[in-house]
Amino acid sequence: MDFNLNNQQKTLIELVQELGKNKFASRAFVYDEEASFPWENYEDLRNHGLLALCVPKEYGGMGVDFPSYCLISAEIARYCGATALTYNMHISSTLWLNVLNDLPLRESEIAECEIYKKIHFQRIVEKQALYSQPISEEGAGVSLGKAYQTTAKKVEGGWLINGKKTFASLSEAADYYGIVCTEEKENISVENCLYIAIPAKTQGVQVVGQWNPLGMRATISRTLIFDNVFVPNNAQLLPSNIYLKLTELYPHMFFTLAPTYMGIAQAAYDFTIKYLRGEVVGMPPIKQRQNKIKQFNVAQMFIILEQTKAIFYRVINEAKINPSKAERLRAYAANYTVMENSNQLCSLAIRVCGGHSLLKSFPLERLYRDSRCGALMRPWGSDRCLEKLGMETLYESQETDDQ
């Protein structure tokens, strides 16, 4: 995507580009049509060691950092959005643990983090385990300030989990479901969060409901039920009560969904250029680029794409613990921009290219449907970003109108 790349970024982006062009792009039609999981793509990712992309080198992984991951994810999304989005759930499970050393934690918590990192990273490196992040619940969550209804009760040797997670991407595909739930205590609070990896095959775990949505069909985001599911203590990914702190101090952790939609935006633009130059395989090689209206619309697409890439690139390079207020607000603005512009670019691409581009034999109509999902992704849905920006631009932390 024409950024100023270092050598590691170049090599890895070339690798996923090769996989994307030669394998993911053609398979995406079938996965989308059938709403089936992209198993073959994951086989390719596994074979190239890409499940351990963001596992630090000292644990046997590739040690890829936040900005590099975002660029790689966007590249994958140019060819298969659902693969990029599900890959994000897996990679975030490792990325989120990488910043723990920079958090203001007690010594005992740091030691605990080390135990969890060793277990989970080892599984990914040696057994190539696949993780998901079913966090969403109806009407609950840290972004809403309401404790998760899914609970973990302390029992001898571990935890007993009960509850329900909706929109669980990689359901029946992941080896581990990394849920965020509430520790069952006398006074339940949103602060008492536990982040726990539940082995998918554990007794009491059930996948229910259909998955036949408008877009991102290959993510297989069905509903998970946990009925008295026992997991040992070391199933935790984070020590108790750290998750909320992490979300507050490391807001960029939620920006990892945006690269998928950045890649889709690029793909819509790429398709439009090829289409108007008469270079799309399966179309008569008739050039449509002489038309002035089409030229004007493509110019508009180019401007929107470049604006989106500019803020995207800036924000991925600003990800850190305790960012400044300006960096945090820019991250919300960038998330909003990418999610909204991705859909706008797909829509414009259809308008410019015309009716033939709507045919299911071309990727544009899938890009359009997939791009519509971006603005809904919690915790930074588009309206939530506006809500946060509206408040945080006008009020300082803890400030009220009574002061």
Ligand X SMILES: Cc1cc2nc3c(=O)[nH]c(=O)nc-3n(C[C@H](O)[C@H](O)[C@H](O)COP(=O)(O)OP(=O)(O)OC[C@H]3O[C@@H](n4cnc5c(N)ncnc54)[C@H](O)[C@@H]3O)c2cc1C
Shortest distance in whole angstroms from residue 77 CB to ligand X: 13
SS3 call for 380: coil
Q: Which stretch binds ligand X (CB under 6 A): 11-19, 22-30, 216-224, 312-320?
A: 216-224
Which of 144, 188, 190, 329 is close enough to bind ligand X by CB under 6 A?
A: 144
CA 257 from chain centre, in angstroms, equals 3
Q: Which stretch binds ligand X (CB under 6 A): 1-9, 23-31, 129-137, 321-329?
A: 129-137
Cα torsion 67, 72, 77, 82 to 10°: value is -90
CA separation for the pair 353, 338 (Å, rounded): 22
**Nearest alpha-carbon partner for 303 in 348, 368, 240, 243:** 348
Shortest distance in whole angstroms from residue 144 CB to ligand X: 6
Shortest distance in whole angstroms from residue 205 CB to ligand X: 16
Shortest distance in whole angstroms from residue 388 CB to ligand X: 8
Shortest distance in whole angstroms from residue 6 CB to ligand X: 30
169, containing H or E segment: none
Q: Which stretch binds ligand X (CB under 6 A): 5-13, 186-194, 269-277, 377-385?
A: 377-385
Q: Which is nearer to ligand X, 125 or 389 (CB)?
A: 389
- With binding defined as CB under 6 A, does residue 253 bind ligand X? no
- With binding defined as CB under 6 A, does residue 383 bind ligand X? yes
CA separation for the pair 32, 368 (Å, rounded): 12
- With binding defined as CB under 6 A, does residue 376 bind ligand X? yes
Q: Which stretch binds ligand X (CB under 6 A): 34-42, 45-53, 289-297, 374-382?
A: 374-382
Shortest distance in whole angstroms from residue 84 CB to ligand X: 12
Q: For residues 338 and 256, is the Cβ–Cβ distance under 8 A? A: no
- With binding defined as CB under 6 A, does residue 171 bind ligand X? no
Q: Which two tokens stand for residue 227?
A: 């009925």
Which of 135, 218, 224, 280 is close enough to bind ligand X by CB under 6 A?
A: 135
Q: For residues 120 and 147, is the Cβ–Cβ distance under 8 A? A: no
Binding mask 48-87 for ligand X (x = CB under 6 A): ----------------------------------------
CA separation for the pair 153, 162 (Å, rounded): 8
SS3 call for 399: coil
Number of residues forming the site for ligand X (CB under 6 A): 21
Which of 130, 346, 348, 377 is close enough to bind ligand X by CB under 6 A?
A: 377
Number of helices (H), then strands (E), in the chain: 12, 7
- With binding defined as CB under 6 A, does residue 381 bind ligand X? yes
DSSP per position, 204-252: TEEEES----SS-GGG--EEEEEEEEEEEGGGBSS-TT-HHHHHHH-GG
Q: Which stretch binds ligand X (CB under 6 A): 106-114, 148-156, 325-333, 379-387?
A: 379-387
Q: Which stretch binds ligand X (CB under 6 A): 268-276, 294-302, 375-383, 391-399?
A: 375-383
Q: Which is nearer to ligand X, 238 or 301 (CB)?
A: 238
CA separation for the pair 6, 357 (Å, rounded): 36
Shortest distance in whole angstroms from residue 343 CB to ligand X: 13
- Name the H helices within 105-161: 107-126
Kindly report the CA angle at 395 between 393 and 399, in degrees rounded to 5?
Answer: 160
Shortest distance in whole angstroms from residue 350 CB to ligand X: 20
Residues constituting the chain: 403
Contact residues toward ligand X (CB under 6 A) are 89, 132-136, 144, 167-169, 216, 219, 221, 373, 376-378, 381, 383-384, 387
